[in-house]
Structure 1
Amino acid sequence: MEFGILMGDQPVSTPPEEHLDLMLRKVEAAQRAGFTYLTMGQHFLYQDFRWFQPIPLLARLAAELDDDVRIGTTVLIGPLHHPVQLAEDLATLDVITKGKLVVGIGTGYLEHEYDVFDRPYKKRYGLLEEQIELMTRLWTQDRVTFHGKFWNVEDRPTHLHPIQKPRPPIWLGAMKEQGVRRAARHGDVWTITPQQTLEQVEALIDLYVDERRALGLPLTKFPLRRELQVADSFDEALSDFARVARGKYVSYSQQGMGLLDQERVEREFLENVKDHVLLGSGEQVRAQITEIAGRLPVGPLLVRPHWPGMDAAQTEAYLERVGREIVEPLADLESVDFVEPAS
């Protein structure tokens, strides 16, 4: 089992140079602890928290990568970008990383971001599908002609292709049935969001697999995003997670994340999260991950090592402990393969 980290936001009160230093120390600590995926999400004009933009930040972090480590965007808000510029930016990043880029992309969930960029929020899914088609052509063809509903390119040469052929892997973010089917049609894999229970994930994986097989497309194991808190006991881990994460969960629910109920997050935080967060002692968390790997074809497992307000020392301590108690002991764990259909 491979493990990765999600590098997120920080309160805007944190000086930006301190925020960057935190990112660099996080990357160093994660690699030292055995994590092999470093990923970064995206937001614009976000309330109260600062998100560094992922493409320039990942280009900077590429200089710090060990040979066996990949970086990725998890996830870019695709429809807010022009596909020509995004394709060339990502191809450049793939070259900078020597072919170690993963492109995680989705639609996001904040309507105000679309308003600012003058993009139609109600057409975001069509925008994303067309964007992926055009970017794939830009990455794989010497000349491109493309006529879509949203973008047009008339017989233009392409001068910048990624190292990975035919393209960097595309991880498509989705939360519900329609999005998972879209991921099956237009991406290489679906990225499982951290707010879903295993039962919900199992049902969505079945939909994804059926769609891929109907199209004759290969199956790849699913990147699984999960929050993870290790302590000396389950109760201590639950308490520690509430202390660092409650404020961010409330922020997510207030800003409209569909899988989170604001009232439950605010009043019943622990009850609302315990079914989809990995919690407990090292032994308990290893058992939880082993159970997941025995039920679902997943990997890598992506965790968040830092919540807004934590300092670099706390983040480094988290990564060291998770590396020692989870990553290293589970290095040889393999998740189940896809079940072949009955003949």
Structure 2
Amino acid sequence: MQIGVILGDVHASVSPRDHLDGLLRQVEAAQRNGITHITMGQHFLYGDLRWLQPIPTLARIAAELDDHVTLATTVVQVPLYHPVMLAEDLATLDILTRGRLVVGAGAGYREDEFVALGVDFSRRFAMFEESLEIMRKMWTQDVVDHDGEFWSVTGGATHIRPYQEPHPPIWIGAMKPLGVRRSARLGDGWPITPETRGPEMVRLLSIYEDERERLGRPQVRHPLRREIIPAATTDAAFERFEKMAKERLLAYANRSLATRSADEISREFREVARKETFIGTPDECVAQIAEMAAVVPIDPVLVRAQWPHMSSDEVVAYLDDLGRDIVPAVAGITSVDRVVREPATA
């Protein structure tokens, strides 16, 4: 089992210089601690938080990349680009990484981003599929001709092919059964969100595998986006996560929990953490990962090392803890090849 890190957002009050310096410190610490995947999501017009754009940022990180590390976009919002431009940008990035790129692709879910960029939010899934079709042509054909619903390309002479042949692996994001089937049909893995819990994960992965079997496509293991929070004791691990993710805790307070006491909010937060994270002593975290890997085909596990209010020293300390206590211990874990399903009842 491998561990990866997703590079997140910081407060806009952090200077661009400090943001970049902290990002590079995080990348160095991740690689030094045996992290095998460095990934980055995408948002536009993010208000009080700054989320650097993934393609140019990962291109900069490629200059620091160790041989054992893969970069991934998790996920780039495909309908917000012209597919010719996106295909060339990603092929360029694959070259800059010497073939160590995974293209994580999604249709997007924030309508305000689409409105700002003048793209029809209601048509995003159809645009997503057509864009992927054009991108694959751009990566595999000398001349591209395409006459579709959203884009037309006539006699497009391609000039940038990916380093990998025929192209980088594609992880396709989804949250519902229809999207999971789309991911099975069009991609090479489904990035599982942290909110997708045990029974629902088994159900959706079963849908994925059934669709792959129907299409005659090979089964795969899937990246799992989930926090790993180790500490000396179980209580200390929960305290650590509350400190790391305190803005998430405040979000609970500002919603339905606003009338509850601080202790009640903390208990509610811990209940969610139990279901959405691997948390506890290092041995407990490793056991939780092994338990899940025995049921569902997952690899790598993608964690978030930096939350908006954390200092670079805190981020590095967290990654050092992973490198010492978690990464070597999970290296010997191999997940199942296919989801273990509950036996059918009569």
Pairwise TM-score range, normalised by the shorter structure: over 0.9
Q: How does 1:237-256 map to 2 (within 5 A)?
A: 237-248=237-248
Alignment partners' CA distance in 2, 1:294 and 1:279: 18
**Does the 8 Å CA contact 2:296/2:339 hold for their aligned counterparts?**
no
Q: Deviations over 1:205-248 (max 9, x none)?
A: 00000011101111111011101211112222112212221314
5+ long unaligned stretches in structure 2 = 342-346
Distance 1:252 1:16, change over 3 A: farther
Q: Deviations over 1:106-155 (max 9, x none)?
A: 12221100001111111111111111111001000111111111111112
**Does the 8 Å CA contact 2:237/2:280 hold for their aligned counterparts?**
yes
Alignment partners' CA distance in 1, 2:61 and 2:139: 23
Alignment partners' CA distance in 2, 1:152 and 1:336: 43
Give, in angstroms, the shift of residue 187 of structure 1. 1.1
**Does the 8 Å CA contact 1:103/1:171 hold for their aligned counterparts?**
yes
Alignment partners' CA distance in 2, 1:329 and 1:41: 27
Counterpart amino acid of residue 196 in structure 1 = T
**Does the 8 Å CA contact 1:38/1:71 hold for their aligned counterparts?**
yes
Q: Deviations over 1:157-193 (max 9, x none)?
A: 1111101111100001111111111111111111111
Match for residue 344 of structure 2? none
Give, in angstroms, the shift of residue 253 of structure 1. 11
Match for residue 193 of structure 2? 193
Alignment partners' CA distance in 2, 1:17 and 1:25: 12
**Does the 8 Å CA contact 1:40/1:72 hold for their aligned counterparts?**
yes
Q: How does 1:168-317 map to 2 (within 5 A)?
A: 168-248=168-248, 262-263=255-256, 267=265, 268-317=268-317
Match for residue 123 of structure 1? 123
What SS is found at the alignment partner of 1:210?
helix
Distance 1:270 1:263, change over 3 A: farther
Distance 1:339 1:57, change over 3 A: closer
Alignment partners' CA distance in 2, 1:8 and 1:339: 30
Distance 1:156 1:251, change over 3 A: farther
Alignment partners' CA distance in 2, 1:249 and 1:304: 16
Alignment partners' CA distance in 1, 2:172 and 2:126: 14
Alignment partners' CA distance in 1, 2:78 and 2:249: 24
**Does the 8 Å CA contact 2:297/2:339 hold for their aligned counterparts?**
no
Counterpart amino acid of residue 90 in structure 1 = L
Q: Does 1:165 find its partner at 2:165?
A: yes
Counterpart amino acid of residue 256 in structure 2 = E
Counterpart amino acid of residue 18 in structure 1 = D
What SS is found at the alignment partner of 1:263?
coil
Give the paired residue count: 335
**Does the 8 Å CA contact 1:75/1:105 hold for their aligned counterparts?**
yes
Q: Deviations over 1:278-321 (max 9, x none)?
A: 11010100000010111111101111111111111101100010
Match for residue 259 of structure 1? none
**Does the 8 Å CA contact 2:202/2:340 hold for their aligned counterparts?**
no
5+ long unaligned stretches in structure 1 = 255-261
**Does the 8 Å CA contact 1:246/1:269 hold for their aligned counterparts?**
no
Counterpart amino acid of residue 97 in structure 1 = T
**Does the 8 Å CA contact 2:202/2:339 hold for their aligned counterparts?**
no
**Does the 8 Å CA contact 2:11/2:48 hold for their aligned counterparts?**
yes
User: What root-mean-square deviation, in Å, do the aligned CA atoms of Structure 1 and Structure 2 show?
Assistant: 2.0
Q: Does 1:110 find its partner at 2:103?
A: no
Distance 1:182 1:238, change over 3 A: same
Counterpart amino acid of residue 68 in structure 1 = H
**Does the 8 Å CA contact 2:242/2:249 hold for their aligned counterparts?**
no
Give, in angstroms, the shift of residue 274 of structure 1. 2.2
**Does the 8 Å CA contact 2:170/2:189 hold for their aligned counterparts?**
yes
Match for residue 336 of structure 2? 336
